[in-house]
Amino acid sequence: MKKIWATATALCLGLLVPLAACGPEGGTSYSTPTGGTGFGEYDVDRTVENGGKTNSIVGASFDPYRVTEGRYAVTVADAESKVYFAFGAGKTGIFSVSSEGDADPCVTQLFGNPIGGIRNLGGEYGSDNISETDKNFKYEFKCDERDMEGAGGVLYFEIGISDPASAGKAFGIVFKYEREYVPEQPIETTVIPVTEQFKEFETPSGTLIMPDAIETFSMDFTPVLGTDGYYHKGAADGPLLYALIKTPARPFGYTADDPTAFDTINTADPGNFIFSDGKTYRYNYISFVETYIAHANDAGIYPCTEEWAEFLRLYVTRDAGTLSFIEEKMMKVLPEGYEWLAGCGYYE
């Protein structure tokens, strides 16, 4: 556990005096931050996983300065220290936090709840020198409706120094309202309709080869969409490919010991069958999947249509890391661009 201390006065000519008397901008007036001590004690895990940081705080105990817009006088005692600010925005908008002075500070944004210390690290942003000659930083951030509701309109900032030579040097921290925050237009959800005119079909004789049978599940073919509207194995008139929709069929390498199929996945949970890139589309496939489940035969299959293949593409793209077949075998067995075949089978 590391203790982090900070003082709200500045060292000037060997005397402790308010920063305004010899501050970064001469006669600029700075306030002494109040409402807390500015220090905290914490153990934080910032392990890098999959190119991103896993931020979790263990034993967090913070007592940040609680501030609003304005200029505040601070120093950071040494290169290992930090000082914490809880900025109460009070309204939505684009705000900034910046430094003024000869010290070389940096900022890391933390998100949390003022009650009971930092709730979690919702994100991390390090802002350092603007240039080699300008040691100050400026970081703009937004406080939107979610921030106002989820964190009481309070965002946390961890202020430290980048250069050990700056330890003990006075500098100012400025919180400022920059402009109005205009939220992005929400993505309209498109409910995907079923276009297939379902028909009865005979289950072929032989054995249904599913992706769990990796030794016999040959992928050395290209799926071809036939004139009948269904995908075939290798050619437009080749053997049909069947969508593995419900029990006892098993897509994605699930085994008899783990007979997961789409009828055992909860369609009431929007996270299972709603797909979005967060920017351009949001597709609701819930009723779509339920309709296909209702028309799958007793073997749990239905000939694979183009629209079902598109659903599989979305499903595999999103959940590749959690599907055992995809995770362990897809890259070795499935042709690039046809990973959705892990949701299909064929008869031999």
Show me where the domains of the chain are located: 2-179, 190-347
Per-residue CA distances from 87 to 36, 96, 162, 284, 286 (Å)? 12, 10, 22, 38, 42
CB 243 within 8 A of CB 292: yes
- pLDDT for 214: 52
More confident residue, 51 or 288: 288
Mean pLDDT of 222-237: 93
| Complete edge-to-edge strand list for the sheet that includes strand 344-347 | 208-209, 344-347, 242-244, 301-303
pLDDT recorded at residue 212: 66
**Listed range (115-129, 279-293, 295-309) with the worst mean pLDDT:** 115-129
How far apart are the C-alpha atoms of 49 and 316, rounded to whole Å? Answer: 21
Query: DSSP string spanning 281-292?
Result: -EEE-HHHHHHH
At 144 the pLDDT is 77
Whole-number pLDDT of residue 329: 54
Residues 234 and 231: their CA atoms lie apart, in Å, by 9
Q: How far apart are CA 61 and CA 1, in angstroms?
A: 10
Average pLDDT of the segment spanning 275-279:
80
CA angle, residues 46, 109, 95, in degrees to nearest 5: 160
Lowest mean pLDDT among 118-127, 186-195, 227-236, 278-287: 118-127
Peptide bond into 251 cis (omega under 30): no
Whether the CB-CB separation of 304 and 344 falls below 8 Å is answered with yes
CATH fold group of domain 2-179: Jelly Rolls (2.60.120)
Q: Tell me the HSE value of 53 on the side-chain side, using a 13 A CA sphere.
A: 12
Q: Could you please report the per-residue DSSP string of 198-246?
A: ----PPPSS-EE-TT-TTT----S-EEE-TTSBEEESSTTSPBPEEE-S
Distance, in Å, from the CA atom of 281 to the CA atom of 286, rounded to the nearest integer, reads 16
Condensed to tens digits (0 to 9), the pLDDT of residues 37-62 reads 777 655 444 444 444 444 444 445 66
Return the pLDDT at 47.
46
Greater pLDDT, 322 or 173: 173
Phi and psi of 145, rounded to 5°?
Answer: -60, -35
Residue 77 has pLDDT above 90, yes or no: no
pLDDT value of residue 333: 62
Q: Which amino acid is at 64?
A: P
Residue 330 one-letter amino acid: M
DSSP assigned state of 248: T
- Structure tokens given for 263: 């009828």
Cα separation, 130 vs 162, whole angstroms: 12
CA-wise closest residue to 84 among 61, 50, 52, 115: 61
Give percent of the chain above pLDDT 70: 68
Angle (deg, nearest 10), helices 286-295 and 306-319: 120
